[in-house]
Amino acid sequence: MSKSTVTLPSGKEMPLVGFGLWKVPKETAAYTVYNAIKSGYRLFDGAYDYQNEKEAGEGIRRAIADGLVTREEIFITTKLWNNYHRRGHVLEMARRQNESWGLGYIDLFLMHFPCALKYIDPAIRQYPAWWMDDAGTVQTDKVPIRETWEAMEEVVDNGIARSIGVSNFQAQSIYDILTYARHPLSSLQIEHHPYLVQSELVKVAQENRIAVTAYSSFGPQSFVELPAQFSAKAKDIQLLFDTECVRVIAKKYNVTPAQVLLRWATQRNVAVIPKSNNQARLAENLDILGFDMTSEEIGSISALDKGLRFNDPGYYLPNHQIRIFA
Ligand code: NAP
């Protein structure tokens, strides 16, 4: 069995396989997280945007109270949403989110996107995601990444987060942060699956010892279930589970196509955070470190690359495209 954690530049260990909380309903999140811990999950990937941090924290606290795990064995990741990039707002949001989880500290705090939106008071906001009102307004703000990063470092100084990192960043802004970071850039979380391999970006991170985490490892599967503006790119594409090469490899190792997709990442030291609202699939997704594919097989999966990105605000925001991946 291969190593099940990666060492972050902060010195902390992060599990290589975790559980993603996007689209886990608030109503069932505590129960789902509790059962995920029972199945062996130790990392939970949340965000302000997912609106279930409090419930996820409840599930973890219940598992700790029942003696299933200790706080130290659990690793929680959460993310700073785009409306809170200004220096004072970063600390305020980190405190607020830390309180929601109710676990004393955040293991990893990520800047969710490399773009700032105008502030909305979290106490009165109605829409968790990009939209700021009923009309679907999205207003950017002029906040340099450096200001936000330095405020995130203060979140570490204040003992609220143990490690910090970024998500949805490209090489240029990573190189830039590395020139002034006082606390290490520990992790980069990106959309990463065989239709969007981004091998150069993964290299940039790994050459700089930044741990890469893949999100949406199953590619189109997570997006077909969304409203039209988000699913448009996904709905006519063959599911990765159904591609010939993934199916053949799955058969050879007697595993499922989902397990092949997750192993394709972890075998290259890229962490994964699959989400499932189904107990059997959730257990299946954790059981992926027990087989090793050949480098030819890994290469044949990577050859499915189409540069196809599903999570792109430059595409799905109709009134205000934010072309961060241009
Ligand atoms: P994902 O984990 O790639 O896919 C989830 C979809 O696959 C759901 O439809 C799920 O359905 C299905 N599924 C799960 N396990 C399966 C299996 N073994 N076989 C077949 N289908 C399976 O997608 P994701 O939720 O987009 O990404 C994972 C996590 O990454 C998120 O939850 C979130 O924590 C994080 N994320 C981060 C960002 C970011 O901007 N940083 C963006 C997107 C996601 P069921 O639930 O019915 O099983």
- What is d(CA 148, CA 152) in angstroms, rounded to the nearest whole number? 6
**Are 85 and 141 a contacting pair, CB within 8 Å?**
yes
Residue identifier of the C-alpha nearest atom 29 of ligand 1: 20
215 alpha carbon – ligand 1 mean position (Å): 7
| 218 Cβ closer than 6 Å to some ligand 1 atom | yes
CA contacts within 13 A on the Cβ side of 238: 13
> Going by DSSP bridges, is the β-strand pair 75-80/106-111 parallel, antiparallel, or unpaired?
parallel
**Domain region containing 59:** 5-316
Q: Which atom of ligand 1 is nearest to the CA of 259?
A: 18
Distance CA 24, CA 192 (A): 20
Ligand 1 centroid to 28 CA: how many Å? 16
Q: What is the average pLDDT across 77-82?
A: 98
State residue 104's pLDDT score.
98
Virtual CA dihedral for 15, 17, 18, 19, nearest 10 degrees?
-170
Q: How many domains does the chain have?
A: 1
For 300-321, how does the pLDDT look when each residue is reduced to its tens digit (9 = 90+)? 999 999 999 999 999 998 778 8
CATH number at residue 56: 3.20.20.100
Query: Is ligand 1 within 6 A of the CB of residue 78?
Result: no
Q: Is 82 in the pocket of ligand 1 (CB under 6 A)?
A: no
Which pTM was predicted? 0.98
Q: Cα(first)–Cα(last) distance of the chain, in Å?
A: 40
CA of 24 to the centre of ligand 1 (A): 10
Dist. CA 306–CA 325, nearest whole Å: 15
Q: Which atom of ligand 1 is nearest to the CA of 285?
A: 18
Q: Is residue 75 part of a domain?
A: yes
User: What is the per-residue pLDDT across 258-295, written as a single tens digit (0 to 9) for each?
Assistant: 999 999 999 999 999 999 999 999 999 999 999 999 99
In whole angstroms, what is the distance from residue 43 CA to residue 46 CA?
10
DSSP code of residue 22: T
Q: Does 52 have pLDDT greater than 80?
A: yes
34 is catalytic: no
pLDDT in tens, 187-233: 999 999 999 999 999 999 999 999 999 999 999 999 999 999 899 99
Residue 182, phi then psi, degrees to nearest 5: -95, -35
